């Protein structure tokens, strides 16, 4: 006789389906204590506590996410097909741009020619998961960009290269994970993208690139939460359709910005040492006294 649907228990068949496991794996979970087989009075077939099965399902999902996270890497966008994947995610998330995708691809590839370190994607062995893009703007160009209505158009002549000793202002144009992933997955992969952005900024400090401000705009709840989580300060927007966020690097005490400034200082000291070793030695001696 079949066991009736229960609000407290799952059958073996239901348990295997929920966990995505075989008979052998089910017996293993019973043997190692992860699941308890319960025999109801008058029954021969075992059942399993709903709470126990659902807890194990969450643990397995977390394990899978962490495993996939370890295999996911961030790399620079280097070719047209990788840029196409970024554009497809952008369209799914933001839906701002219309028209011929090939023309849009041409525009993005021109940005890469101006500075090849502007687009980064997150991928595993099988797929592109998400991406972020960040534009280094020449001094004095940020306000003009923040004053544009969407979609923002940045002239490639306004894009700076990441050269040592050069002052730039960074505009975070996009960051997102493909909407095909579940909420928990998007949270894990979003954290990976943030880590990639932070590592990039700290690396720019090591290379002697002087960042004066970092800016971003968003009107999406996830984007706004992200900006606040990173440490951006919300400022009065120049256009009504997006909220605007700024990090003023010099006075900032955000941990990753402090790491950037330390890296920049060490880079500056290293460069100065190469040029004037005796002067730097005296400066270090005075700082210790």
Same domain, 184 and 63: no
DSSP 180: T
Beta bridge partners of 73: 123
Q: Is residue 115 part of a domain?
A: yes
Rounded distance between C-alpha atoms, residue 137 and residue 158, angstroms: 6
Is 278 within the bounds of a domain? no
**Cis peptide, bond prior to residue 151, ω within 30 of zero:** yes
Q: What is the pLDDT of residue 219?
A: 87
Q: Write down how long the chain is.
A: 289
pLDDT of 277 reads: 58
Instruction: Answer yes or no: do 130 and 17 share one domain.
Output: no
pLDDT digits (tens, 9 = 90+) for 171-229: 999 999 999 988 878 888 888 899 999 999 999 999 999 999 999 999 888 889 889 88
What CA–CA distance (Å, rounded) separates 256 from 276? 30
132 domain-assigned: yes
Q: Are residues 78 and 118 in the same domain?
A: yes
Q: Is the domain of 18 the same as that of 125?
A: no
pLDDT in the model for residue 43: 80
Give residue 54's domain range: 9-69
Q: Are residues 36 and 97 in the same domain?
A: no
Peptide bond between residue 250 and the one before it cis (omega within 30 degrees of 0): no
User: In total, how many domains does the chain have?
Assistant: 2
Q: What is the pLDDT of residue 1?
A: 39
Q: What is the CATH number of the domain that holds 170?
A: 3.40.630.30
**Distance, CA of 205 to CA of 267 (rounded, Å):** 7
Q: Are residues 160 and 34 in the same domain?
A: no
> What are residue 221's phi and psi, to 5 degrees?
-55, -45
pLDDT given at position 152? 85
Q: What is the mean pLDDT of the chain?
A: 87
């Amino acid at each position: 006789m079949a066991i009736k649907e229960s609000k407290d228990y799952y059958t073996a068949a239901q348990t295997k389906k929920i966990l995505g496991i075989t008979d052998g794996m089910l017996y293993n979970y019973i043997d190692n204590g992860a699941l308890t087989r319960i025999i109801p009075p008058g029954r021969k077939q075992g059942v399993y506590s709903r709470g126990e099965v659902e807890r194990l399902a969450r643990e397995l999902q977390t394990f899978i996410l962490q495993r996939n996270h370890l295999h996911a890497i961030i790399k620079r966008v280097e070719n047209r097909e990788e840029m196409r994947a970024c554009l497809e995610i952008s369209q799914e998330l933001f839906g701002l741009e219309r028209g011929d995708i090939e023309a849009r691809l041409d525009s993005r590839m021109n940005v890469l020619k101006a500075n090849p370190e502007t687009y980064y994607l997150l991928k595993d062995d099988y797929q592109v998961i998400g991406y972020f893009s960040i534009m280094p703007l020449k001094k004095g160009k940020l306000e003009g960009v923040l004053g544009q209505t969407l979609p923002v158009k940045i002239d490639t002549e306004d894009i700076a290269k990441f050269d040592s000793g050069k002052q730039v202002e960074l505009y975070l144009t996009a960051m997102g994970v493909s909407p095909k992933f579940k909420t928990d997955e998007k949270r894990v992969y979003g954290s990976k993208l943030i880590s990639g952005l932070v590592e990039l900024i700290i690396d720019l400090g090591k290379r002697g690139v002087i960042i004066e401000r970092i800016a971003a705009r968003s009107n999406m709840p996830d984007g706004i939460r992200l900006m606040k989580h990173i440490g951006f300060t919300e400022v009065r927007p120049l256009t009504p359709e997006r909220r605007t966020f700024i990090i003023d690097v010099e006075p900032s005490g955000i941990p990753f910005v402090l790491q950037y400034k330390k890296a920049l200082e060490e880079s500056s000291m290293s460069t100065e040492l190469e040029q004037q070793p005796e002067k730097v030695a005296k400066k270090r001696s005075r700082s210790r006294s």
